[in-house]
Chain A
Amino acid sequence: MGVNEVTEPGPGRGTAPTGGAAPSDPAGAGGSGQSRSSHRPQAPQTSEPAPLLRMTGIEKSFLGVRVLHGVGLDLRAGEVHALVGENGAGKSTLMKVLAGVHRPDAGRIELDGAPVRFEHPLQAQRAGVSTVFQEFNLLPERSVAENVFLGREPRRRGLVDGRRMTADTEALLGELGIERLDPGARVRNLSVAEQQVVEIVKAVSRDARIISMDEPTAALAGAEVELLYRLVRRLRERGVAVLYVSHRLKEIFELGDRITVLKDGRLVDTADVAASTPDELVRKMVGRPMSAFFPDRAAGAAPGPVRLRVEGGGNEQLDGIDLELRGGEIVGLAGLQGSGRTELAQALFGIGRFTRGRMWVDGRPVLPRSPRQAVRAGLALVSEDRKAEGLALNQPVLANARMVLDAVLPGSAGRRARRVPEILSSLELVARGLDQEVRFLSGGNQQKVVMAKWLATEPAVMVLDEPTRGVDVGARQALYTRVRELADAGVAVLLISSELSEVLGMADRILVLYDGRIAGELPAGAEEEAVMALATGRAARGAAR
C-alpha cells in the first residue's frame, strides 16, 4: 500500500513535463469549459501533425514471457486510433503501459515531444492520459457528479461546493451531448452504458487529452452503442486523442481514423482507415502460421454417441442454442468478446441457467439449475476466470484437485481421490508437492490443477472456457494433449477460446457465436477468415438485430 500512497492531486505534480500537458485544476479554473477549450486548436486533419503522444520500442515481459516486442504507436490530437489484434496480441498490455498500470521493460513514451515515465495510474491521469477500463473505477453508491470529481471536489470557503460540482458535471455532459443523465443519480442505478459515460466524463473533467478505451462496446446493446459513438465523435471534435481497442470491425470502420494492428506482441502495421478494407485487416490480424503443437486428430475416428444435446436453449443472454456434442469429438466454440461464449458455458453448467429449451446428457433429460446438478449429470466446466471461479488459492494442490469430489460426491471421494495424484502426474504438474498452496504455482500449473479437479469426476461432457488463458506455451501443449486424450477416451469436449488458432488447431468442428446465437458451423479445416466473418456478423446479417 505504501507504493500507492500518493501526494495531493494538483496541477503539474506528475512526472510529465509540463508545457501544454499540465492539467489545470478544475477547482481553481474559472469555468470548466474555458480551461479545456485551450486544447482544441489542433486541427484534426491528416496533414502530418506532430503526434501528441509517441510510444516507441515498448517491451514488456511477464514472468519471462515477452508480451510486447518493441511496439510503437503514436496518437494525434483529434483522432480516433483503433488498436486491433487477436486476444493475446498485446493490446491490453500496451494500453496498461500507457495508463501507468504496467511499467515497460524498455522503450520510450513521449508526450508533446518530451519523454515521460508513468509509475502509477495517477501520474498518467495528471499528465492528461486517462483510461476507461472494462472494470469501471466508480463508486456505485455515490452520485454521478461525486464520481466525476472524486478526489478533486471543488471547494468554496473550505467546504465542498456541491452545487458547482453538479453544475460543472451538467455542463460537461451537455458539452459531450449527453442528455438525461442526472448528475445526482447514483451510479449503482445506471446502466452499463451510462456508467461508461461517467467514466469518460471523469476523464474529460481531468482535462484528459488522451483517452483510451478497452473494448467499450463489449457490454452494450444497439442504442447504447450509438450513445458511445456520439460521445467518441464529440471527443474527437474537442481535440482529444482516443485510443480505441475493439474487436468489432464494423465499429473500427465507422469510428476510426487510423488503425494499428498488433499480432503476437509485435506491431504489424499502422494505416489510415480510409485506405483499408475489412478483409485486409482480418488478414493482418490472423494468418499466423499454425503452430505444430496441436496434437493430431485421431485419423478418421468416427465420433461416438451423442453425449450432450441442447434444443432451443436460451436465457437473457442467449437464444436458440442448438447443440449436439458427441463422445470423442472436440467442438470448438468461437465468437467475439460479449458474443455469449462464457454465458453459454455457464448456462450449460447451471449458472445463469437456460430459461428456455431442453437439454440431455447421455440421453437423460437434465436442465441443470445449479453447478451441483450439472456435476451430478456428468458435466464439468473449466471456467474462464481461474482465480476467481476455479481455485481456492490458499489451499494446497490436493485440496483443490479434490474440491469437486468433496463438495458433490463425498461418498465416492475416497475412492476417486486416490486417483487424483495420478491424474495430476498425467497432466505433468510441476509443483513442490501436493501440499503446496496453488497460489504459488504458475498459471499453467494452476490450470492443470483445475483440469485435474474435473477429470477426477470422470465427466461425460467437459466444457473448457478459455483453458489456456495466461498459460505458457509449454503447459499449453500438455493441456492440449490431455484434452485430445480425453476426447479419445469418449468424453465430449466443448472448447471455448478467443484465440482462433487454438480453436482451429484443436476442434473437429467449430461453432461460431454472434450476439448470443449460433451464427454458423464450420468444419475442421476452416479458414480463419471464415470464422471471423461469422463472428463479426458479416456472414450472418440475418442473425443480427
Chain B
Amino acid sequence: MTVDQAPAGPPPGAPTPPAERPAAPPALRFLGGASGPVFVLLILIFAGIFTLNPSFAEPPSMMFFLRQAAPLIVLAIGQYLVIVSGEFDLSVGALVGAQVVIAAALIDGEEARTLPVLGVMLVFGLMVGLVNGLITTLLKVPSIITTLGTMLVLSGAIQLWTGGAPTGALSESFRVAGRFGIEDVPVLGQLPWALLILVAVALAALVLMRSSYGRTLVSVGDNETAAAFAGARVWLVRTGAFVLSALLATLAGVLIGGYAGVTAQVGDGLEFAAITAVVLGGVVLGGGRGTVVAAMAGALAVEGLFTLFNQLSLPSTIRPSVQGLIIIAAVAYAARQGSLPWQRTRPRAPRTVQPTRR
C-alpha cells in the first residue's frame, strides 16, 4: 500500500529527529488513546464511592476492597495476554472452578498436603493452557471454539469427578493467601496477602510486557505475518500466552478458594468478567493494542462499579445490566475513535491506493 492514508502525520513544519529516549514516559501514554477513558472512569467511580461513603476511603476498607478485587485483576492480566496476541480464553472461569474443587478434594482438610496439591494444581493449569494453545495454533481451531470446548470438558469432568457436589475441604494454610494478611500494619490495619501477591504478579506482568517475549506477543497480535517474517515462532508465542493465562487462573483459583470457599460454581462467569475488564481497559479484541496496566485498571473499575452499586443499594441483580451497558459503550467509544478496525479484511485492490501489486 503505497500512498499513506494516515490521518495524522508528523507536523509538516517540524521534522524532528528521533529522541534518544521515548518522548513521553510510558506511564503518561495511558492517559491518551483508547486506554484513557478507563482511568477517567476509575476516578469517577471512586469519587462516587467516596462521596457516598467517606469511610470507604479509610485504608482498612480499601485493603478489604483490593483483597476482593485481586482475583479478577489476576484473571484480567491473563486474559490480556491472550487477547493482545489476537485470541480469546473462555476457559478461565471453568478452570478456576476446577482448581478450587481439585484443591478441596485432594487436600481434604489435611495441612500436610497443601504444598503438594498446589504443585498438582500448577501442573494441571499448565496442561490446560498447553492444550488450549496447541489446539488453537497447531490445529488451527479458532480459540473461541477451543476454549469453549475446554470449558465444557473442564466443568463436565469436575462435576463427573465430584458427582455434582464438591467434596473435601481446604486446609487453613491454603486459605491464608486469599483470606488473611499481615496484621497490625500501621495505618492499613491488615495488609492482605492477596494484595501482595497481586502486586507481585502485576510487576511481573509489567516486566514481561517490556521483555522480548512481551513485545513479540504484541507484534504477533498486531500483525501475525510481519511477526512471522521477522522470525517469530507465532505458534509458540501464542501458546505461551494461553499457558500464562491458565497459570494465572490457577492463582486466581487459590485466592478465590481461600476467600470464598469451595463451591463448583465459584468460577461461573469469571471469563466474561475478565474479558469485560480487559475490553474496558481499551484493549482491542483482535490483538495488538492496549496495555496490561489498562487491563488491570479495567478489572479494578469493574470491581469498583459493583462496590458503587452496593453503596447505592442497587440490587445486585442489576449488575449484569450495567456490566453489559458499559462493555458496549466502551467498545463503541473505542470504535468511534477509529482505533478499532470495523472489520479486519484483507487489503483489497479497489480500496488500496497502490500502483502495482505482484
Contacts and interface: CB of A to CB of B under 8 A. Distances in A.
Direct touch of chains A and B (CB < 8 A)? yes
Interface of A: 1, 62-63, 65, 67, 87-88, 90-93, 96, 99, 101-102, 121, 131, 133-135, 137, 214-215, 218, 337-338, 341-342, 349, 351, 370-372, 374-376, 381, 383-400, 402-408, 410, 413, 421, 424-425, 428-436, 439-443, 445-446, 453, 469-470, 498
Contacts of B350: 96, 99, 101, 121, 131, 133, 137
A341 B358 CA distance: 9
A443 B353 CA distance: 12
A408 B6 contact: no
Contact of B218 (A385, A399, A404, A413): A399
B16 A431 contact: yes
A395 B220 CA distance: 11
Contacts of A137: 348-350
B3 A63 contact: yes
Nearest to B223: A392
B81 to A, nearest CB: 16
Contact of B222 (A389, A394, A410, A453): A394
Interface stretch (B136-144, B168-176, B228-236, B302-310): B228-236
Q: Which one of B24, B212, B227 has the highest number of Cβ atoms from chain A below 10 Å of its Cβ?
A: B212
Looking at chain B's contact residues, is the secondary structure mostly helix, strand, loop, or mixed? loop
A399 B219 contact: yes
A502 to B, nearest CB: 14
Given A371-B230, A406-B219, A453-B230, A388 B347 contact: yes
A121 B352 CA distance: 13
Given A394-B289, A399-B218, A443-B4, A430 B10 contact: yes
Given A389-B225, A424-B18, 17 more contacts: A63-B4, A67-B355, A92-B356, A135-B349, A370-B231, A392-B219, A394-B222, A399-B219, A400-B219, A407-B216, A407-B227, A428-B17, A432-B10, A432-B16, A441-B6, A442-B4, A446-B4
B20 interface: yes
A439 B17 contact: no
Interface residues of B, number: 54
Contacts of B18: 397, 421, 424-425, 429, 431, 433-434
Given A101-B350, A430-B10, A392 B222 contact: yes
Contacts of A62: 2-4, 353
Nearest to B339: A394
Contact of A392 (B1, B10, B227, B347): B227
Interface string B230-264: 11110000000000000000000000000000000
Nearest to B211: A410
Given A391-B223, A407-B219, A432 B231 contact: no
22 contacts: A62-B4, A87-B356, A93-B353, A93-B355, A101-B353, A137-B349, A371-B229, A371-B231, A372-B231, A388-B225, A389-B225, A393-B222, A402-B215, A403-B226, A404-B231, A406-B213, A410-B213, A431-B16, A434-B18, A441-B6, A443-B4, A470-B4
A13 B357 CA distance: 32
Nearest to A372: B231
B6 A442 contact: yes
Contacts of B223: 388, 391-393
A433 B19 contact: yes
B351 interface: yes
A392 B218 contact: yes
A403 B232 CA distance: 9
Given A337-B356, A342-B358, A101 B226 contact: no
B229 A389 contact: yes
B29 A435 contact: yes
A435 B26 contact: yes
B230 A403 contact: yes
Contact of A435 (B4, B22, B227): B22
A398 to B, nearest CB: 7
Interface of B: 1-4, 6-11, 15-24, 26, 29, 211-213, 215-216, 218-219, 222-223, 225-233, 288-289, 342, 347-351, 353-358
A498 B356 CA distance: 10
A351 B229 contact: yes
A421 B19 CA distance: 8
Given A101-B351, A388-B226, A434 B22 contact: yes
Contact of B2 (A91, A372, A443): A443
Contacts of A101: 349-351, 353
Contacts of A424: 18
Contacts of B19: 421, 433-434
Contacts of A428: 17
A539 B301 CA distance: 71
Contacts of A381: 229
B213 A442 contact: no
Contacts of A446: 4
B320 to A, nearest CB: 30
B238 to A, nearest CB: 13
Contacts of B2: 62, 443, 469-470
